[in-house]
Amino acid sequence: MMLEVRDLEKTRPDVDTREPAVLAARARVQLEAGLFWRALKNLDEAIDQAPMSGALFHQRGETYARIGQAKAALADFTTALERGGVRPAETVNCRGEVYYRCDRFTEAGADFNVAVALDFTYFKPYLNRALLHSAMGRYEDAEFEVARARSLAPAQPLCHRVQGQVQVRAGKFEQAIGGFTQALRLRLDADVLHERAVARLRAGDPAGAWIDLALCLRTDPDHGEAADDRARLLAMFAECPDEAARGLRELRHRFGNHPEPKVRRLAAEAHEHLMRTTGRRKRSL
């Protein structure tokens, strides 16, 4: 999209690049690139020019939500609904997500219910209701909501990811791993790899967790949580010889002949790393 905006500026000199639509397009690109404050600056300018555009307030609300500015995000989503020109179910659902992250579960639940009432074919409010139920220990209700979402959007990775998150909270780690795996089949995502690694570790599979953390950091080298978890896992292997030995066996037996070359390479690297850091005699994977 950045190329589209730049091409517009180069090839269409008659187009005012400070128009709200162009500013909004530029802000969208900047948001995805992590340039949050630049995105907000462009959206502020766009809203100054088009203060009745609900779509611009919705977009700025999403940007505020990404940087944790909950109060500003809630205000913008509410204004977007008042101005119109947005998909009401989507905007109400986004506002509910902000309430949920602020632990304001009553307001969150009300917004998710309204979003479903506005458009019962929109799958995201069902997933958010599932997360809300699971946060309150209502795991059967949560799984029911996930099933409803999956029936509406079976090819959406988010449905399978939320299924995994709900099952982790319920202590069903093997089922959670299955949900995360299905999400990853549909789309590679560093955060989902990290979540699967955590589920594997809690299920008693440190070797599998190590491979997932390695894949996560290959996908996103700046993933801080994955780096921290890998350091903790390595410390555990170094301090517990029995766990290290089991991890090495698992790496050999489960991943040494994996059908994906990338996984085999990572397994070999992990095996060598563990052999070196735990002071064990070198043995080929």
The C-alpha atoms of residue 116 and residue 61 are separated, in whole angstroms, by 20
Distances, alpha carbon 148 to alpha carbons 92, 103, 121, 140, 246, in Å: 19, 24, 10, 13, 40
Averaged pLDDT of the chain = 86
Instruction: Please indicate whether residue 276 or residue 182 has the higher confidence score (pLDDT).
Output: 182
Is residue 77 within 8 A of residue 98, CB to CB? The reply is yes
For 91, residues 6+ apart whose C-beta sits below 8 A from its C-beta are: 54, 58, 61, 77, 80, 81
63-71: long-range contacts at Cβ-Cβ below 8 A with a sequence spacing of 24 or more? 63/27, 63/31, 63/36, 63/39, 64/40, 65/94, 65/97, 65/98, 65/101, 66/31, 66/36, 67/36, 70/98, 70/101, 70/102
Q: What would the mean pLDDT of 8-34 be, rounded to a whole number? A: 76
The C-alpha atoms of residue 81 and residue 55 are separated, in whole angstroms, by 9
pLDDT at residue 277, rounded to an integer: 57
pLDDT at 276 over 80: no
For Cα atoms 166, 167, 172, give the angle at the middle one, nearest 5 degrees.
160
Q: What would the mean pLDDT of 35-43 be, rounded to a whole number? A: 95
Does residue 163 sit in helix, strand or coil? helix
Tens digit of each residue's pLDDT (9 = 90 or more) over 130-158: 999 999 999 999 999 999 999 999 999 99
Of 160, 174, 234, 178, which is closest to residue 202 (Cα–Cα)?
Answer: 174
Does residue 197 sit in helix, strand or coil? helix
Domains and CATH numbers, the chain: 1-81 (1.25.40.10), 104-187 (1.25.40.10), 206-285 (no CATH)
Tens digit of each residue's pLDDT (9 = 90 or more) over 239-264: 666 665 665 566 555 555 556 676 66
The C-alpha atoms of residue 156 and residue 178 are separated, in whole angstroms, by 15
pLDDT at residue 3, rounded to an integer: 44
pLDDT at 273 over 80: no
Q: What would the mean pLDDT of 35-46 be, rounded to a whole number? A: 95
Q: What would the mean pLDDT of 94-105 be, rounded to a whole number? A: 98
Tens digit of each residue's pLDDT (9 = 90 or more) over 46-89: 999 999 999 999 999 999 999 999 999 999 999 999 999 899 99
Tens digit of each residue's pLDDT (9 = 90 or more) over 207-225: 888 889 988 988 899 999 9
For residue 253 the two structure tokens come to 């037996």
Predicted TM-score (pTM) of the model is: 0.81
